[in-house]
Chains A and B, each alone.
Chain A
Amino acid sequence: MTDAAVSGVKVETPRYRAVSIIVVLLALFVFAAIFFPLGVILQRALLPNWKPDFALWATTLAQPELLTAVRNTLIIAFVNTVISVPLGIFFAWLVERTDARWGALSRLLPVIPLLLPPVAMTIGWLFLADPRAGFLAAPMQGFFRSIGLSIDPSSLAVQSWGGLILLYVLFSVPHVYVVAAAAFGSLDPSLEEAARIFGKGRLKCFLSISVPAIRHAVGSSALLTIISSFGLYSIPALLGTAARIDVLSVYIYRLLHATYPPKIGQAVVLGVVMIFVIGLLWLAQRRIASSTGHAQIGGMGIRPNLISLGGWRWPARILLLLYVLLTSVLPLVALFIVSLQPFWRSTIVFDQLSFANFFEFWSDRQSRAAIVNSAWLAVLTTTVVVLIAGILSIVGKNVGGAREKWLGVLTKVPSAIPHIVFAVGVLVAFGFAPFFLNGTWLIIFICYLAVYIPQASIAAESAVQQVGNQLVEASRIFGARPGRTFWTVQLPLILPGLAAGWALIFTLVVGELNAAAILAGPRNPVIGYLILALFDNGTYSQLAALGSIIGLVSGVTVSIALILGRPRFSSKAVRADD
């Protein structure tokens, strides 16, 4: 061991330089994938003939309807964040830090809603809670009549502010849960144990010790929730339109889809404004999370004790089960029942149920190819994007300061651009000369890599921030080179966080629709292309069958990811009162 190594001075060995070059090339590749297409679109939309078009900004921002859409979006984002973040964190705490969990199954329960693409989840809820044709409509009305209440069916409609918020929350809670659960799973439990020893109650321990200790994960999950509140399209399109609640994503969709020529310029202007808003939110989140200390994975051995909930153990378990039953099992069952029906109907005729919709898919060569290929593409894309995000987050943490901030902001930029706009940029940038990637898998891969880097980097940053410097410094002091430190020390520690990000992004990639519309086709079909075809021209039964298949594929894959990515030490966790 050299003095330089002991003092933490970087050793410029050939291998160190090679690792540095690889990291720089990786960063260049990612930023090329993001900013080349983005540059193409920005130039075309905002600088036609290389001159700024200020009238476009004025026209875009002066629309009175935009104000309504922004107001509604902000209301949804606020309410969704206020409900989803505490709920997701509470569930993560119950499962990861208390004896309310039972086996590996309880880790997977809160993520069940994540297994369906938003469009399938939304129609699942429509099957269940439409006031006239939902499976629950007649029983609920009958119940209210039996207790003497005459209730207008439409007052219970899922197509309402309440229904809209419910669906956003259902979509967001699993996202919060996986990020928070990964942080709780990696957390040094000594603070909680000390608090319990000094007589703090369970709830006080949760609120004043556990939650502040995963401050970064809380901030990251809030940011994820806000971004998804801005960008979700299927839920407001299906439910919000019916309730006449216009939101920003539907507003932008109409700019791009409703008329020819599409108003790409206006959509890009709104995207640029959103880039600034999301960038500011990210910086604010970083500042708040860093303003006070937060617990980190330390260098000491960890053998976490689970907090005993005593008499609250079973009520907590029942609460978890109830959440899963109401939010996931019922809509999934509704989806599966409709997938067995020839068409969606509110009554179940048992002799008409069959697997015809599933066989129909399997007998169609292109549908089969789309499902199989999408699964492989999703595994590949997700693995690469999460690894890259992990490496960039570690690099960011090491370089620190303004460079870290810029790296963080730049990796969030694609989250503000509608996928369809970004996909057009990717097609123009990489589809033709000199790359000629149009119609290939590689172009879809590049697009997904760019559009999902924000979510991956948010999850990775949360995981990296949770890891303290003690072990990394120890590794360096003992002469390990940066590559070895990464593979043997940092990667295993951030693995739970990366696995959570992997699970999140896998489900998003599998169900992605808008980029698929521009980049997929008969030569490179993906599931999103099938969903669009069925959504525009098929039956909801066929869509439900496809949703069930996606749910199955995602369920198996996400379960494997979360189980493989769980903290190694948690399997030996013991209850505090054992």
Chain B
Amino acid sequence: MTIRPALKALLSATLVAGFATAAAAQAPISRDALVKAAKAEGKLMLYSSSGETQSKTILSAFEAEFGIQGSHLRLTTIPLIQRMSAEIEGKDVQADIISVSTTVPFIDHPDWFVKMTKDYAPSLANWPGRWVSANYISWTADNFYMAYNTDQIPVGQHPKTYADLVDPKWKGKILLTDPRVADNYFGWLDGLEKAKGADFLRKIASLNATLTASGASGAQMIGAGAFAINFPTFPDFSAALIEKKAPVAVFAITEPTLVSERVITALTGAPHPNAARLFIDWIVSENGIKAACKNGTVAVVADPDRKYGCIGLKDPQPVSYILTEERKKQLVRDLGLSAN
């Protein structure tokens, strides 16, 4: 499966040429010319930390519309960024598009990513301005949810707010997703503490909840009836269970409404720069938003009124992903956990 050195050298030269043309790729181009150039490339690689079903649905819709075959690599955020970083540093970029739940790499390495301008993607003109940054787009803003077992808690009688969740009647029935496993859960903890105070975190600690290592394993435990409630989580983790008619339902917890921001952008050294540009233009267009919301599990920030079938969120306030180490330690200690 190795490629001969001569061919590799040729590919490297092509890659260098690709970087050189990156600036040209920012220049305005007619829609027809872009589609033609993207179709000539014929392929698109998406690196995404979102659910497998979500990525497959979007890439299928993109392929159906433009005949460009999409493939994707699905990993959790940090391994995905580690891999992308190594490929960029090794000048062998594989990804055209990346979508993750953190903004830090886009701030640390702005040169790795394409500038998100209307010249680059004309459909950005219709995207809410507050969700467009220099080199990425805030794509979805997903509420933090709770998953609950419908055999143990009838639909409608479940807790709705954070205050409901700390009712002592739930003691021993709650499965808490370990917030130390990802940046967005740390952000959730930070947002909750800012809104309700450190004492509220201590109230959660007093429930003596069992911990689960991830939202995915939490959803399975809820489906099996091991616990009544799991939070914080995201609907993606329960989607397959709900589809298979497991006794699981999800509910967006309110007061406060905390959301996790997912961003998307194209890479400057993308192997298929035109397909990447077309994809970004498409994903922020009406058809792209409809495709993203086809499964009904995400809230695209450009559809607060559910016009395209998304989970509508009015004026969502994303949690912060940039916290100091000391802040993180204090938060998890307030929650009664060791601070690693």
Whether the Cβ atoms of B87 and A431 lie closer than 8 Å is yes
* B321 surroundings in chain A (CB, below 8 A): 260
Sample (10) of A-B pairs whose CB atoms are under 8 Å apart: A130-B226, A237-B213, A257-B76, A346-B224, A346-B225, A424-B86, A427-B83, A431-B86, A538-B216, A540-B220
Whether the Cβ atoms of A431 and B92 lie closer than 8 Å is yes
**Interface hub of A133, A246, A518 (most chain B Cβ within 10 A):** A133
Whether the Cβ atoms of B224 and A440 lie closer than 8 Å is no
B13 CB to nearest chain A CB (Å)? 12
Whether the Cβ atoms of A259 and B186 lie closer than 8 Å is yes
Q: How far is the CA of A424 from the CA of B87 in the complex (A)?
A: 10
Q: Which of B177-185, B188-196, B273-281, B302-310 contacts A (4 or more CB under 8 A)?
A: B177-185
Whether the Cβ atoms of B214 and A343 lie closer than 8 Å is no
Which residues of chain B from 231 to 245 have a CB within 8 Å of any chain A CB? 236-237, 240-241, 244-245
Contact flags A424-435 to B (C-beta < 8 A → 1, else 0): 100110011110
Cβ-based interface call for A470 (8 A): no
Q: How far is the CA of A68 from the CA of B78 in the complex (A)?
A: 25
A346 CB to nearest chain B CB (Å)? 6
Whether the Cβ atoms of A433 and B183 lie closer than 8 Å is no
Whether the Cβ atoms of A428 and B1 lie closer than 8 Å is no
Whether the Cβ atoms of A256 and B217 lie closer than 8 Å is no
Whether the Cβ atoms of B214 and A342 lie closer than 8 Å is no
Which residues of chain B from 97 to 115 have a CB within 8 Å of any chain A CB? 102, 104-105, 108
Q: Considering the complex, give the chain B residue whose CB is closest to the CB of A428.
A: B86
Whether the Cβ atoms of A242 and B182 lie closer than 8 Å is no
Q: How far is the CA of A69 from the CA of B338 in the complex (A)?
A: 10
Whether the Cβ atoms of B83 and A518 lie closer than 8 Å is yes
Q: How far is the CA of A258 from the CA of B79 in the complex (A)?
A: 10
Whether the Cβ atoms of B340 and A251 lie closer than 8 Å is yes
Whether the Cβ atoms of B77 and A238 lie closer than 8 Å is no
Across chains A and B, which 6 residue pairs bring their CB atoms closest together, nearest first?
Answer: A432-B90, A133-B224, A65-B340, A133-B226, A342-B244, A343-B246
Taking Cβ atoms with an 8 Å cutoff, the residues of A that contact B are 63, 65-66, 68-69, 130-133, 154, 159, 237-238, 241-242, 244, 246, 251, 254-262, 342-346, 420, 424, 427-428, 431-434, 436-442, 517-518, 521-522, 524, 532-533, 535-542
Whether the Cβ atoms of B180 and A258 lie closer than 8 Å is yes
B220 CB to nearest chain A CB (Å)? 4
Q: How far is the CA of A438 from the CA of B86 in the complex (A)?
A: 10
Cβ-based interface call for B210 (8 A): yes
Given the known A-B contacts A258-B181, A342-B245, A438-B94, are A69 and B340 also in contact in the complex, defined by CB atoms under 8 Å?
Answer: yes
- The answer, among A154, A159, A436, A537, for a CB contact under 8 Å with B216, is A537
Given the known A-B contacts A132-B226, A343-B223, are A261 and B92 also in contact in the complex, defined by CB atoms under 8 Å?
Answer: no
Q: How far is the CA of A293 from the CA of B321 in the complex (A)?
A: 61
- The answer, among B72, B82, B213, B224, for a CB contact under 8 Å with A238, is B213
Q: Considering the complex, give the chain A residue whose CB is closest to the CB of B172.
A: A154
Q: How far is the CA of A246 from the CA of B178 in the complex (A)?
A: 12
Q: How large is the interface on B (under 10, 10 to 19, 20 to 34, 35 or more residues)?
A: 35 or more
Per DSSP, chain A at the interface is loop
List 6 additional A-B contacts (Cβ < 8 Å) besides A133-B224, A342-B244, A432-B87. A131-B226, A242-B211, A260-B104, A428-B86, A428-B89, A438-B92
Q: Considering the complex, give the chain B residue whose CB is closest to the CB of A131.
A: B226
Q: How far is the CA of A536 from the CA of B223 in the complex (A)?
A: 16
Contact flags B230-266 to A (C-beta < 8 A → 1, else 0): 0000001100110011100000000000000000000
Whether the Cβ atoms of B76 and A261 lie closer than 8 Å is no
Cβ-based interface call for B212 (8 A): yes
- The answer, among A345, A434, A436, A517, for a CB contact under 8 Å with B224, is A345
* A427 surroundings in chain B (CB, below 8 A): 83, 86-87, 90
* A238 surroundings in chain B (CB, below 8 A): 213, 217
Taking Cβ atoms with an 8 Å cutoff, the residues of B that contact A are 1-3, 5, 8, 11-12, 45, 51-53, 71-79, 81-83, 86-87, 89-92, 94, 102, 104-105, 108, 172, 178, 180-183, 186, 210-214, 216-217, 220-221, 223-227, 236-237, 240-241, 244-246, 321, 328, 337-340
- The answer, among A130, A258, A437, A535, for a CB contact under 8 Å with B183, is A258
Given the known A-B contacts A258-B181, A436-B2, are A539 and B244 also in contact in the complex, defined by CB atoms under 8 Å?
Answer: yes
* A433 surroundings in chain B (CB, below 8 A): 8, 12, 90-92
- The answer, among B77, B89, B180, for a CB contact under 8 Å with A260, is B77
Whether the Cβ atoms of B183 and A260 lie closer than 8 Å is yes
Q: Considering the complex, give the chain B residue whose CB is closest to the CB of A69.
A: B340
**Interface hub of B82, B180, B182, B321 (most chain A Cβ within 10 A):** B82
Given the known A-B contacts A242-B210, A431-B92, A438-B94, are A68 and B223 also in contact in the complex, defined by CB atoms under 8 Å?
Answer: no
* B105 surroundings in chain A (CB, below 8 A): 260-261
* B227 surroundings in chain A (CB, below 8 A): 132
Q: Considering the complex, give the chain B residue whose CB is closest to the CB of A366.
A: B71
* B89 surroundings in chain A (CB, below 8 A): 428, 432
* A522 surroundings in chain B (CB, below 8 A): 45, 71-73
Q: Considering the complex, give the chain B residue whose CB is closest to the CB of A342.
A: B244
Q: How far is the CA of A522 from the CA of B340 in the complex (A)?
A: 33
B46 CB to nearest chain A CB (Å)? 10
Q: Considering the complex, give the chain A residue whose CB is closest to the CB of B242.
A: A343
Given the known A-B contacts A130-B226, A345-B225, are A438 and B87 also in contact in the complex, defined by CB atoms under 8 Å?
Answer: yes
* B83 surroundings in chain A (CB, below 8 A): 427, 517-518
Q: Considering the complex, give the chain A residue whose CB is closest to the CB of B11.
A: A436
Given the known A-B contacts A522-B71, A540-B220, are A256 and B78 also in contact in the complex, defined by CB atoms under 8 Å?
Answer: yes
Q: Considering the complex, give the chain A residue whose CB is closest to the CB of B1.
A: A440
Given the known A-B contacts A63-B340, A343-B246, A344-B224, are A532 and B178 also in contact in the complex, defined by CB atoms under 8 Å?
Answer: no
Q: Considering the complex, give the chain B residue whose CB is closest to the CB of A538.
A: B240
**Interface hub of A262, A442, A540 (most chain B Cβ within 10 A):** A540
* B74 surroundings in chain A (CB, below 8 A): 533, 536-537
* B81 surroundings in chain A (CB, below 8 A): 260
Q: How far is the CA of A256 from the CA of B76 in the complex (A)?
A: 11
Q: Considering the complex, give the chain A residue whose CB is closest to the CB of B181.
A: A258
